[in-house]
Amino acid sequence: MRQTIDALVDARLKGNGPGAAIGVLQAGRLLHCQGYGLASLEWNVPIRPDTVFRIASLTKQFTAMAILILQTQGTLHIEDTLATVLPDCPSTWQHIKVRHLLTHTSGLANVAELPAFQAQTARHLALEDVINLFKPLPLLFEPGTNFFYGNSGYHLLGLIIERITQTPYEEFIRDTILQPLGMRHSYFQCLTPIIRNRASDYITQDNKIVPAPFTSAISMHSSGAMESTLEDLLIWEQALHNHTLIDASTQRLMFTPVRLADGRCVEYGFGWSFSTYRGKTLACHGGWTNGFRSLVVRFIEDELTLLILTNHREFSTERIALEIAAQYITFPPITHQALSQEIATFQKIVGHYDMPGSPIEVIQQEQRILLKKGSKEVPLLPISENMFIAESDHDVAYHFTEERNGAFHSLIITYPLHFTIATRKQPAYATAFPAE
């Protein structure tokens, strides 16, 4: 099996370029743990299982675990409001619950998208300085009524941890999670300025691999500041498998999709998103910052977990994860049957939809439906009145929901390992905001 995985990865690497560290677990048993490519092109240093990568949003899983540990200790509850745990918060935040922060349903604007934050990405910003950037902004929607993926809620969770424990967030994670589990090579740069065996990150620019621009890991705090190794993250996954830190019923909250106030279910828990791929149920999450990407995928029924860390922005963690998974799992063929183009009620879906930085237009062109995103056009095939698949990739589904006044007002785009939500532009619909 190792030779097969080696061949799959090598086919995606470019000679003596950046690479990846890849691990596979099944039922808690280690099946594969290997580095590929270079951690440093300048020094010709290979990637190993103990190479340190920035893991970006995988940090959110550790923040969520810290909150559940505090709940287990009785010092907070996920149903507590910010009025209780952060009594000095703005009045507009007082009805936000800790659960809303964990599930991206708080209505907070995403600080990572604010020009004031993007202009300072190379600076080391204190946690409260980051929070002050979005503190004056109005909520995008009433807490609990919609889903909008972002970093702001997890920054606030870090502040809550600090207020309750009277300990810096990074020290609490180190002392409560990393050290007890033996994750000896997981770091926060504010605590460990010089990190041994740390990979450099790269991007492709004008068909050349170049160093990625510097951005501060410190400023990401509880939403994405952690750095770790494949070996350590495999320890983390085994700890989740064995319920080492908290009991099974409490940990199950991390893996439970959130239900909105109107009853709609969003496939996101506490630092985990959920999807279905070829009939298999998945729990997964990714991270991305500059040239670093990270991904963890759990195939629930098969008890198979894949971990991928890379120092090259253009390395497709999702594609290689599915290719490797196919070596362990027999996936059934796609069975979608497209409807006759005349059957689909096209006018209900045609229109403009909003997604942060990525407006979408759905148009009818003769007897075809096209989804336009920038200069890209994706032909869609209808499989029901409100469900479509990409003509070129049947694993990508487009689900139009929330029918009102003869039109659908929400579009959920489901890829094998993540999803995005877009909403019909105003004035048709004014309250929903999408995920990244």
Residue 6 belongs to what H/E stretch? helix 2-10
Whether the pLDDT of residue 182 is over 80: the answer is yes
The least confident of 56-60, 126-130, 309-313, 397-401 is 397-401
pLDDT value, residue 221: 97
What are 239-261's pLDDT values in tens digits? 999 999 999 999 999 999 999 99
Do 282 and 394 fall within a single domain?
Answer: no
Whether the pLDDT of residue 142 is over 80: the answer is yes
Does 431 fall in a domain?
A: no
Per-residue pLDDT, averaged over 206-210, amounts to 93
Distance CA 242, CA 417 (A): 24
Whether the pLDDT of residue 21 is over 80: the answer is yes
For 115, list phi and psi in degrees, rounded to 5. Answer: -55, -35
pLDDT value, residue 357: 60
Does 118 fall in a domain?
A: yes
The least confident of 81-90, 197-206, 331-340, 370-379 is 331-340
Please name the residue ranges forming H helices in 166-294: 169-173, 179-181, 221-224, 230-242, 248-251
The least confident of 275-279, 305-309, 312-316 is 275-279
Residue with tokens 């336009």, as numbered in its chain: 372
Look at residues 26, 32, 69, 28 and name the one whose alpha carbon lies nearest to residue 241.
Answer: 28
Does 270 fall in a domain?
A: yes
Count CB-CB contacts under 10 A for residue 167. Answer: 15
What are 37-79's pLDDT values in tens digits? 999 999 999 999 999 999 999 999 999 999 999 999 999 999 9
Do 315 and 358 fall within a single domain?
Answer: no
Per-residue pLDDT, averaged over 181-190, amounts to 97
Whether the pLDDT of residue 14 is over 80: the answer is no
Spatial contact of 306 and 313, defined as CB atoms under 8 Å apart: no
Spell out the residues 6+ positions from residue 170 whose beta carbon is closer than 8 angstroms to its own: 188, 190, 191, 221, 225
Do 13 and 121 fall within a single domain?
Answer: yes
Q: What is the CATH number of the domain that holds 275?
A: 3.40.710.10
Whether the pLDDT of residue 436 is over 60: the answer is no
- Where does a domain end: 302, 332, 362? 332
Per-residue pLDDT, averaged over 141-158, amounts to 96
The least confident of 140-149, 319-328, 330-339 is 330-339
Do 399 and 311 fall within a single domain?
Answer: no
Whether the pLDDT of residue 83 is over 90: the answer is yes
Label residue 12 by pLDDT band (50, 70, 90).
confident
Q: What is the CATH number of the domain that holds 390?
A: 2.40.128
Residue with tokens 């059934």, as numbered in its chain: 332
Do 67 and 140 fall within a single domain?
Answer: yes
The least confident of 168-177, 329-338, 384-393 is 329-338
Residue type, 97: K
pLDDT value, residue 304: 97
How many independent structural domains does the chain possess? 2
What are 380-420's pLDDT values in tens digits? 888 877 888 888 887 788 888 877 777 787 788 877 877 77
pLDDT value, residue 430: 29
Do 311 and 351 fall within a single domain?
Answer: no
Do 284 and 385 fall within a single domain?
Answer: no
Domain that holds residue 91: 1-332
Residue with tokens 């995103």, as numbered in its chain: 373
What are 210-227's pLDDT values in tens digits? 999 999 999 999 999 999
Of residues 74 and 428, more confidently modeled:
74
Per-residue pLDDT, averaged over 148-157, amounts to 96
Distance CA 94, CA 157 (A): 14
Does 435 fall in a domain?
A: no
- Where does a domain end: 285, 301, 332? 332
Do 302 and 409 fall within a single domain?
Answer: no
Q: Which residues of 262-273 are buried (b: 16+ CB within 10 A; e: fewer)?
A: eeeebbbbbbbb
pLDDT value, residue 339: 60
Look at residues 276, 304, 320, 280 and name the one whose alpha carbon lies nearest to residue 415.
Answer: 276
Does 430 fall in a domain?
A: no
Label residue 345 by pLDDT band (50, 70, 90).
low
Whether the pLDDT of residue 427 is over 60: the answer is no
Arithmetic mean of pLDDT over the chain: 90
Whether the pLDDT of residue 129 is over 80: the answer is yes
Do 36 and 161 fall within a single domain?
Answer: yes
Do 120 and 262 fall within a single domain?
Answer: yes
- Where does a domain end: 307, 332, 357? 332
pLDDT value, residue 218: 95
Per-residue pLDDT, averaged over 422-436, amounts to 44
DSSP codes joined into one string, 139-155: PSS-TTS-----SHHHH
Of residues 373 and 193, more confidently modeled:
193
Q: Tell me the torsion sign for CA atoms 267, 272, 278, 279.
A: negative
Look at residues 62, 87, 96, 93 and name the one whose alpha carbon lies nearest to residue 222.
Answer: 62
Label residue 341 by pLDDT band (50, 70, 90).
low
Do 180 and 207 fall within a single domain?
Answer: yes
Any idea what DSSP says for residue 211? Answer: E
Per-residue pLDDT, averaged over 96-102, amounts to 99
Does 339 fall in a domain?
A: no
Q: Tell me the torsion sign for CA atoms 7, 11, 15, 18.
A: negative
Does 433 fall in a domain?
A: no
